[in-house]
A = this chain, B = another copy of it.
Amino acid sequence: MRYEGPVRIGELSKATGIPVPTIKYYLREGLLPAGERTHANQVSYTAEHAQRLRLIRAMVQVGELPIGTVRTMLAEVDSAERPTDSMLGRLSGALVASRSPGAHADEQELAETAALLQRHGYTRTDSVHVRMIADVLAMLHRLGRPELVGIVDHYADLALQIAETDLATLTAIEDRDNLAESMIIGSVLGEALFAALRRAAHATVSARVFPEDKVDTSSAS
């Protein structure tokens, strides 16, 4: 194979499909670590930079995360030499922080939500997550749909199963170095993946439940 000189920003751009100005922007924002400077005015990047760029794009485009959240999560995996329990906790905490609250549950609703989660086997009833869940439940009440709150019981059990699956997949990964990155990918893409599957499942199940409807194979673009 031919010798390749230092990888510069243009090749990074070609390899990832991301425009050069955008890569510069990510560098400025601290999402992409600076490359190794070969001369006073030249920098060379590595394959890891390309990988990091793909990860950023996945988080931004699929996960729809704001830049600040992406930075927080990436800083997390960069700072820790070794992925731990608390790291996954901090990652999902950053994820939750990127979602706007909307309705604010009061203290009682918060306590009830925490109790509900504990009943379902949740041990880490971290404030951020409980708050988010309680806020959604409070919103259901505000919308005059208290009967929909009941779904949380079934959801809670299924979410635990999902998490079991995710963790089993993560621990099966040999490459411990990239485990932290896999945590991000699993969290962010997994969320998008499950949401899409849930929507598809709604279509399938509702076709069974609403029999009066003749099936309209909507292949609308």
Interface residues of A (CB under 8 A from B): 51, 54-55, 57-58, 61-62, 64, 81-86, 88-90, 92-93, 95-96, 99-103, 117, 121-130, 132-133, 135-137, 139-140, 142-145, 147-148, 150-152, 154-156, 158-167, 169-173, 176-177, 182, 185-187, 189-207, 209-210, 212-213, 215-221
**In-complex Cβ contact of A189 among B55, B139, B169 (8 A):** B139
**Given contacts A85-B210, A151-B169, A196 and B96 within 8 Å (CB-CB):** yes
Q: Oligomeric state, in number of copies?
A: 2
Docked Cα-Cα span, A161 to B203, in Å, equals 13
Interface contacts beyond A57-B102, A124-B204, A124-B207: sample of 12 additional A-B pairs, CB < 8 Å, sorted by A: A51-B144, A81-B217, A83-B215, A84-B210, A85-B212, A96-B199, A124-B200, A151-B166, A159-B197, A159-B200, A176-B220, A187-B199
Give 11 CB contacts A-B under 8 Å.
Answer: A54-B142, A55-B143, A62-B100, A62-B135, A64-B64, A89-B206, A122-B201, A124-B204, A148-B185, A160-B205, A177-B220
Cβ of A190: which chain B residues have Cβ within 8 Å of it?
Answer: 151, 155, 198
The CA-CA distance from A216 to B198 in the complex, in Å, is 33
- Bound CA–CA A221/B128 (angstroms): 8
- In contact, A132 and B171 (Cβ under 8 angstroms): no
A143–B203 touching, CB < 8 Å: no
A123 and B165 within 8 A (CB): no
Residues of chain B lying within 8 A (CB to CB) of residue A173: 147
Please tell me if the beta carbons of A123 and B207 are within 8 angstroms of each other in the complex: yes
Are B218 and A171 in contact, with the CB atoms below 8 A? no
Contact B127 A219 (CB under 8 A): yes
Known: A55-B143, A205-B163. A82 touches B215 (CB 8 A): yes
- Expressed in whole angstroms, the minimum distance between the Cβ of A111 and any Cβ of chain B is 15
Cβ contacts under 8 Å, A198 to chain B: 159, 162-163, 190-191, 194
